[in-house]
Chains A and B, each alone.
Chain A
Amino acid sequence: MRTTFVKTLLALAKKDPSIWLLTGDLGFTVLEEFRDGLPDQYLNAGVAEQNMVGVAAGLAMTGKTVFVYSIVPFATFRCFEHIRNDVCYHELPVCIVGVGGGYSYGHMGSTHHALEDIAALRSLPNMTVVCPGDPLEVEGAVKSIVELRRPCYLRLGKAGEPKLHDPAKFSFTLGKSIEMLSGNSVTLIATSNMLETALNAANLLKEKKLQPRLLSMHTVKPIDRDALFKAADETPLIVTVEEHIPTGGLGSAVAEALAGHTRRPPQLICSAPDRFADTTGSQKFFRSKAGLTPDVIAGKIVSALSNL
């Protein structure tokens, strides 16, 4: 995802000199092409994220569109008040780009895990929260964010995620989910790097003769209420899948949106637990521990449907 991000941004920035990229001293083997190709639109702001976000806001006050790049916790929690006051309050075109969503930096430890970011960033007024699920969604998101010229948070995975959409049929609109599978047995809603897992879970359900609907909810704020209401009206169970704590993430956003809807089917929240890692492990290890695997998710859905 991060490679697609920088490739897309570089192409846009070559045409538009007002697009800048700031990094908090990270991006080895990722940002070099941008750094060397567009030095006047690039800045390594050092390991000083509060200043980096303030500087980004200052640049944006002069008309620049600024992307600020770091690993999720450093790009978000470390400088949260600067994002709140400098970027969101002033409604500036600054996009906070966090790499390493969820357990992407698994074995690096809890300091590098990103499990509370959607909740935190979603709480800010004027903020758009975009969590693409595959490289095609990343490309669409970056193009849309440049056009939007508003505060954004872009949550990326790491590297090597597969393309999950058919490029020939793909189109991307901020705030509008993508229906990847149509069906009325159950609605699965996935965000960020859980899209592949949710797709595989849905395929397991199809093997069991169910017709799952799958929505890629790449924009968590503003959330696609129309698609959610339609799913609530047409399917008996809503399942949200996210590599994030259950508080304040996709599951919460969906529940909030549906709270005022007349018909409210039960919702199954598949998420990471609300706790720091108690051991060392890979992303695959932590996903497995949290039950964020296709077979466990499919099993929970079958069980939930049988209890309706």
Chain B
Amino acid sequence: MAAPVTKVPASALDLRDLSKEIRRDTFQMAHHAKSGHLGPAFSIVDLLTVLYFRFLRIDPENPKQPDRDRFILSKGHGCSSLYVTLAKRGFFPEEELKTFTLDSSRLPGHPSSKLLPGIEASTGSLGHGLNLGAGIALAGKRGKCDYRTVVIVSDGECDEGSTWEAVLAAGNWKLGNLICIVDYNKIQSFGRTKDVMDLEPFADKWRAFKWHVQEVNGHNHDEILKALEVTKKEPDRPSVIIAHTIKGKGVSFMEDTVDWHYWTPTDEHLKQALSELK
């Protein structure tokens, strides 16, 4: 039985506006909390927008419904934009975003499924999410359930051996209900991927591990949605969508810089960012 889809709010109908709003709120939230990791939160905003407002079969009123689609943000450090997305999708009041990283908050710097509805798995250490996702997908496949499992991993996370263990296993287990999206912004924590640990030829690696591979512009909503829909036609192998993204996308001074993996925004930064995200 298919889970009921909650009516998407009218304000959500324009994905471009919505992505901009999510970026704006995320920036404000990070500024308020004096928190970093804005770059990796911004590169996934368009992916999150399409997933939560066009693709995932979820019901914020019943976040634990057994038949729901599962989403895991394996790169947990990018969770600030996920919090904003979840709030806008109705999982918890937007007002609560102000508590990001505060004492006793439900919104720590890496997401916890024990604290917040809508978070499927607690992440923060890299190289865990795809393994969990493979387990959830395997249960769905053997149990003949029709839910899908979507995992966003970072490019830096593809340095982890455990990630490739999951890639190898999911290909062998023919997990057609598992979708991995790589946020390929090409900058990892302390340098560019090509300098730190080059992943290329990246798509070929996934193909060699028996995955269906697509590459998209990770900031083009139409391309993202189309690629997600294509995965439904691949029931016998897992799908990877390599999303070419820009770290810090949407705010000029953050785009494609290593620094904004860490830096916390000042009042000046906030002013400029808000003017660019109007």
List residues of chain A with CB under 8 Å of any chain B CB: 40, 43, 45-46, 48, 50-51, 53-64, 81-82, 85-86, 89-91
Can you report 10 residue pairs joining A to B where beta carbons are below 8 Å apart? Answer: A45-B169, A48-B168, A54-B131, A55-B135, A58-B131, A58-B138, A58-B139, A59-B138, A59-B139, A63-B66
Q: Is the CB of B132 within 8 A of A62?
A: no
Q: Is the CB of B131 within 8 A of A90?
A: no
Residues of chain B within 8 A (CB-CB) of A63 are 66, 139
Known contacts A54-B128, A61-B135, A82-B128: does B122 contact A46 (CB below 8 Å)?
Answer: no
**Would you call B113 an interface residue if the criterion is a C-beta within 8 Å of the partner chain's C-beta atoms?**
yes
Q: Is the CB of A54 within 8 A of B162?
A: yes
Q: Given contacts A50-B131, A54-B134, A58-B133, could you give 8 more A-B pairs where the C-beta distance is less than 8 Å?
A: A45-B169, A48-B168, A57-B131, A57-B132, A61-B121, A62-B135, A81-B125, A90-B122
Partner of A59, one of B128, B135, B165: B135
Residues of chain A within 8 A (CB-CB) of B278 are none
Residues of chain B within 8 A (CB-CB) of A91 are 114
Residues of chain A within 8 A (CB-CB) of B131 are 50-51, 53-55, 57-58, 82, 86
* Chain B: minimal CB distance from A13 (Å): 14
Q: Is the CB of A61 within 8 A of B136?
A: yes
Residues of chain A within 8 A (CB-CB) of B9 are none
* Chain B: minimal CB distance from A197 (Å): 38
Residues of chain B within 8 A (CB-CB) of A62 are 66, 135-136, 139-140, 143
Q: Is the CB of A58 within 8 A of B132?
A: yes
**In the assembly, what is the distance between CA of A48 and CA of B125, in Å?**
18
The chain A residue with its CB closest to the CB of B143 is A62
Residues of chain A within 8 A (CB-CB) of B122 are 85, 89-90
Residues of chain A within 8 A (CB-CB) of B166 are 51, 54-55
**In the assembly, what is the distance between CA of A56 and CA of B140, in Å?**
13
The chain A residue with its CB closest to the CB of B162 is A50
Partner of A50, one of B121, B133, B135, B161: B161
Partner of B120, one of A45, A50, A61: A61
Per-position 1/0 for B101-132, Cβ under 8 A of A: 00000000000011000001110110110111
Q: Is the CB of B136 within 8 A of A58?
A: yes
Residues of chain B within 8 A (CB-CB) of A59 are 135-136, 138-139
* Chain B: minimal CB distance from A188 (Å): 40
**Would you call B142 an interface residue if the criterion is a C-beta within 8 Å of the partner chain's C-beta atoms?**
yes
The chain B residue with its CB closest to the CB of A57 is B132
Per-position 1/0 for B151-173, Cβ under 8 A of A: 00000000001100110110010
Q: Is the CB of B125 within 8 A of A55?
A: no
Partner of A85, one of B125, B130, B140, B143: B125
Residues of chain A within 8 A (CB-CB) of B165 are 48, 50-51
Partner of B138, one of A50, A53, A55, A90: A55
Partner of B162, one of A45, A51, A56, A58: A51
* Chain A: minimal CB distance from B2 (Å): 17
Q: Is the CB of B128 within 8 A of A56?
A: no
Q: Is the CB of B121 within 8 A of A90?
A: yes
> Which 6 A-B residue pairings sit nearest by Cβ, starting from the closest?
A58-B135, A54-B131, A51-B165, A55-B135, A62-B139, A50-B162
Q: Is the CB of A85 within 8 A of B128?
A: yes
Q: Is the CB of B114 within 8 A of A90?
A: yes
**In the assembly, what is the distance between CA of A70 and CA of B180, in Å?**
28
Known contacts A61-B135, A86-B131, A86-B132: does B121 contact A55 (CB below 8 Å)?
Answer: no
Known contacts A51-B169, A58-B133, A89-B114: does B162 contact A82 (CB below 8 Å)?
Answer: yes
**In the assembly, what is the distance between CA of A216 and CA of B135, in Å?**
36
**In the assembly, what is the distance between CA of A55 and CA of B135, in Å?**
4
* Chain B: minimal CB distance from A124 (Å): 14
**In the assembly, what is the distance between CA of A53 and CA of B127, in Å?**
12
* Chain B: minimal CB distance from A126 (Å): 11
**In the assembly, what is the distance between CA of A86 and CA of B136, in Å?**
13
**In the assembly, what is the distance between CA of A304 and CA of B72, in Å?**
57
Residues of chain A within 8 A (CB-CB) of B143 are 62
* Chain B: minimal CB distance from A44 (Å): 10
**In the assembly, what is the distance between CA of A62 and CA of B137, in Å?**
9
**In the assembly, what is the distance between CA of A46 and CA of B134, in Å?**
14
The chain A residue with its CB closest to the CB of B132 is A58
Residues of chain B within 8 A (CB-CB) of A48 are 165, 168-169
Known contacts A55-B138, A58-B138: does B169 contact A86 (CB below 8 Å)?
Answer: no
* Chain A: minimal CB distance from B170 (Å): 9
